[in-house]
Structure 1
Amino acid sequence: MNLKLKKLLRDSKGVSQIISVLVLTAVVIVGAVGAGMIMNTFSNEVADDTSAEGIGEGAATELLIAGSTTVQPLSECLAKKYMEKNKGVRVIVQGGGSGAGVASTGLDIVDIGSASRAVKSTELDKWPDIQTHQVGGSAVVVIASKFCNANKTSASEMKALYDGSGTTIDGVTVDTVYERAESSGTEETFAKWINFRGPDKQLDPSSVAEGVVGNAGVLAAVEGCTTTCCVGFVDFGYADGADVDMLNVTKHDDTGNYEPTSDNIKAALKGEDNKYPNDDKGLTRPLNYLTKGDPSTIEADFLTFARSPAQKSCFDEAGYFAVWEFA
């Protein structure tokens, strides 16, 4: 079953990003068997669209990376550069969320999983051989549509928005609030910060927010609110330079006032206080690759490549920080 799922996800010509996310989400919800049922449903539909053309033709080795949508743009840049250097290798990158990255690694569906959070103890109980390889760091930011004309918010203010007990930020009435539709390291970090978590450490199921897929989905939804005030949360790398406002935030206890700038987040990742929330309920978090047991030769080579200072441009392009910049 796992080999079939790998084949499906690797078939980037025949499977759309949406179907790939559905398969990886099924891995989290119902495991490999359920994902296999989805695979069987779609396999005939996509078969006619499958093409032998493209970079993978004749490739001697394939490497499948999937999981966190935060890590995804970094992986895509690294994959492109790695394939330019290693002509016999095809690297396929998919999203799906951090939960899918962990589960698909544990189930041996992907070669390298990705997660914008640490692997949970409950996940390690299921898959004790998962190894974590941190490659970088970043932070979650709160975003608002330009129509809001807001500048700052607090953890308690955001909790009230998401649990339905409040409707304003920075004195402005909010029309729509967005969250992630899939298991996400970004949402887990945000939910911990506002102290509104469900049993799975995502936002509590009673959240009144509308769910959309991926960091890109949340960003697009908030950007699209041109005549209404909309609020959501994404990784800094997605919001930086986008047509939204990144709001100053407090710590989880509503103290301080922290501006989400590149310099402040990098300083917080280094452990500096009073730059951006970085305690155990803060908004900074790791960017991790995952392997099932010791990485294979090709996996180890890619991980070494990803951690090389020569790849700093990929981190800069994604708006993230390489681990060697702050470790």
Structure 2
Amino acid sequence: MPRLSLNRYLSALSVMLLVATTASIPQAAERKLVLTGSSTLAPLVAEIGKRFEQENPGVRVDVQSGGSSRGIADARSGLADIGLVSRALKPDEQDLKSFTIALDGITLIVHKDNPVQTLTDPQIVDIYTGKITRWRAVGGADRPITVVNKAEGRSTLELFLHHFQLKSGDITAHVVIGENQQGIKTVAGNTSAIGYVSIGTAEYEVSQGVPIKLLPMAGVDASVENVRNGRFPLARPLNLVTKAESEGLVRQFIDFSRSERVHDLVEAQYFVPLAH
């Protein structure tokens, strides 16, 4: 009987420990942040997240890409604590709160061996609408142009269309890509290709030896410095967005991401940090 009683006691103790462990899970979950959205913003936020985790033991920051539209949708639905949106909020998105953490520009890229050094806005429009189909027409080699376009739901596409006063249906594309890295890889592997991506991402890839070059727009060189000084014509804010007034861990992360403590991370990604 004493042995049986001891076994029952140990069994009951095991159940109590299991219940106690299970009860602690929600508290652990509260120390996790989920951020989804812009592929332009995701690599930067992932680096900010790593530093935030180091300074806040027990916190996990989960960053996922998928486009700015996903960032908006996930923030609204609660699937994400914070959405990543590489543009300003639209009029029908004013139910969300946005917090700019950096600035970026968008520019056209071609293979570094392409002899074309610049394109006018009308030439860009004609290339993307299929009126110009060979590089020879704009001073390049006699070869067909491979037009690389962004997929629907990407803020880079929306800004490109708005700047050139085009509609998505106007574009004649040969390749449709999602993330900046896909666009850069496509152009780097095709001397006839043209695409448009984040200036910050493109400048970084050039520094790493990737064979692309950035084309100027409206006579202004595509560079982070010209985004910084306000000269580049196609610039955008990189935003964190939330469904409601942020508080607790969410607010702490947003404030951290907007502080001078991450300026080195912003600049390392070739974006423009906020002025303080």
TM-score calculated relative to the size of structure 1? 0.70
2:120 corresponds in structure 1 to 154
2:248 is matched with which residue: 267, 273, 297? 297
**Cα deviations by residue, 1:58-113 (Å, 9 ceiling, x for unpaired):** 77611001101111111011011111111110000011111111111111110000
Residue 155 of structure 2 is matched in structure 1 by: 185
Partner residue of 2:110 out of 144, 163, 181: 144
- Look up the match of 1:17: none
Counterpart of 1:248? Answer: 216
Q: Which residue of 2 aligns with 1:207?
A: 171
Counterpart Cα distance in 1 of 2:47 and 2:252 = 16
Alignment partner, residue 20 of structure 2: none
CA contact (8 A) 1:147 1:229 kept: no
Matched residue SS, 1:249: coil
Task: Determine if the alignment matches structure 1 residue 217 to structure 2 residue 182.
Answer: yes
Partner of 2:84: helix, strand, or coil? strand
Report the counterpart of residue 197 of structure 2 in structure 1: 234
Q: Distance in 1 between matches of 2:215 and 2:243?
A: 38
Question: Amino acid of the residue matched to residue 107 of structure 2?
Answer: V
Structure 2 residue 77 is matched with structure 1 residue 107 = yes
Do structure 1's residue 133 and structure 2's residue 89 form an aligned pair? no
**1:1-327 matched pairs, under 5 angstroms:** 61-124=31-94, 128=95, 130-167=96-133, 168=135, 170-172=138-140, 173-197=143-167, 204-209=168-173, 210-225=175-190, 228-240=191-203, 241=206, 242-250=210-218, 257-268=219-230, 275-277=231-233, 283-324=234-275
Q: Structure 1 319/174 Cα, relative in aligned 2: closer, same or farther at 3 Å? A: farther
Aligned length: 239
Equivalent pair of 2:200/2:224 in contact (CA under 8 Å)? no
Distance in 2 between the 1:195 and 1:113 partners? 27
Distance 1:102 1:82 in 2: 23
Amino acid at match of 2:222: P
- 8 Å CA contact retained: 1:59, 1:90: no
The one-letter code sitting in structure 2 at the alignment partner of 1:223 is A
The whole-number CA distance in structure 2 between the counterparts of 1:120 and 1:262 is 25
- What SS does structure 2 have at the residue aligned with 1:93? strand
Contact 1:182/1:214 (<8 A) preserved: no
Structure with greater contact order relative to length (CA < 8 Å, sep ≥ 6): 2
**CA–CA distance in structure 2, aligned partners of residues 108 and 155 of structure 1:** 40
Counterpart of 1:103, as a letter, is: A
Residue type at the aligned position of 1:212: I
Report the structure number with the largest CA radius of gyration: 2
> 1:5-55: CA deviations, max 9, x gaps?
xxxxxxxxxxxxxxxxxxxxxxxxxxxxxxxxxxxxxxxxxxxxxxxxxxx
Q: Separation in 2 of the partners of 1:90 and 1:79?
A: 8
* Per-residue Cα deviation, 1:274-325 (whole angstroms, up to 9, x for no partner): x321xxxxx1110100011011310100011111112111101111011226
Contact residue 107 and residue 196 of structure 2 kept, 8 A:
yes
Q: Look up the SS of the partner of 2:113 in the other structure.
A: helix
C-alpha separation between the residues in 1 aligned to 2:185 and 2:152? 16
CA root-mean-square deviation: 1.6
Unaligned runs of 5+ in 2: 1-27
- DSSP-derived class of the 2:225 partner: helix
Distance, in Å, in 1 between the alignment partners of 2:213 and 2:147 is: 14
Contact 1:142 1:231 survives alignment (8 Å): yes
**Mapped contact 1:155–1:193 kept (Cα < 8 A):** no
Deviation digits for residues 147-168 of structure 1 (CA, Å, limit 9, x no counterpart) = 3222111221111111111124
The alpha carbon displacement at 1:216 in A equals 1.0
Contact kept, 8 Å, 1:159 with 1:195, in 2: the verdict is no
Secondary structure of the structure 1 residue equivalent to 2:169? coil
How many angstroms apart in 1 are the aligned matches of 2:227 and 2:138? Answer: 22
Deviation, structure 1 residue 261? 2.0
The residue type equivalent to 2:34 in the other structure is L
Q: Is there any run of 5+ residues in structure 1 with no aligned partner, and where?
A: 1-57, 198-203, 251-256, 269-274, 278-282
Structure 1 segments, 4+ long, off by >6 Å, are none
Contact 1:102 1:119 in 2 (8 A): no
